[in-house]
Amino acid sequence: MSRIGKMPIPLPDGVEAKIEKNKVTVKGKLGELSINVDPLIKVENKDNTLIVKPVEDVNSVRAKYGLYRSLLNNLVIGVSQGFSKTLKIVGVGYKANKKGNDLEVNVGYSNPILFKKIQGIEFETPDNTTIVVKGIDKQLVGKIAADIREIRKPEPYKGKGIRYENEYVRRKVGKAAITAAGAAQ
């Protein structure tokens, strides 16, 4: 059995879960999210706690058991607290700012790149080199953050580009340093 799947999901104050056949809807102070659950997985709401159980003890069902528990837990956390990803911009002249509800990123291309506002996602720019992507859907927040990072990935020689807040960029030695070391031998 899945160790993650066995754990119950407590519902915090102000969060309601409604179970209809194979659809679970979670509603909280930040919004409402729903997920379609596999028919071989049973979800119960007992004493403000969601419990996930497999209907059969088969490998394919056990594989999905922990997955659906994690997805339901992400829904509960999303509607109660929300999710956020922070991106840092490194490079001379690279910056980002909000234009209305949209995000404008200027990272060395001839024109700035404009990210349109997506429903359920909010952009914040505490300073010119920091972007915070917020929302209630963990998957969508991660995807939008990855799309922003994809504009200019951090390069290994100078480290310029857009990276996640705690991302480590492994630096490479440049060509000049290699030839100088080779000439000294």
SS3 (DSSP) at 183: helix
Q: The tokens of 30 are what? A: 């930040």
The whole model's pTM is what? 0.86
pLDDT-derived band at 185, boundaries 50, 70, 90: low
Q: Is the pLDDT at 104 greater than 70, yes or no?
A: yes
Chain mean pLDDT for the chain:
90
Crossing angle between the packed helical segments 59-80 and 138-151, to the nearest 10 degrees: 80
Contact 56, 65 (CB under 8 A): no
Contact 154, 163 (CB under 8 A): yes
SS3 (DSSP) at 16: strand
Q: Determine the pLDDT at residue 178.
A: 67
pLDDT-derived band at 63, boundaries 50, 70, 90: confident
List of domains in the chain: 3-80 (3.90.930.12), 83-164 (3.90.930.12)
Q: Is the pLDDT at 52 greater than 60, yes or no?
A: yes
Contact 106, 92 (CB under 8 A): no
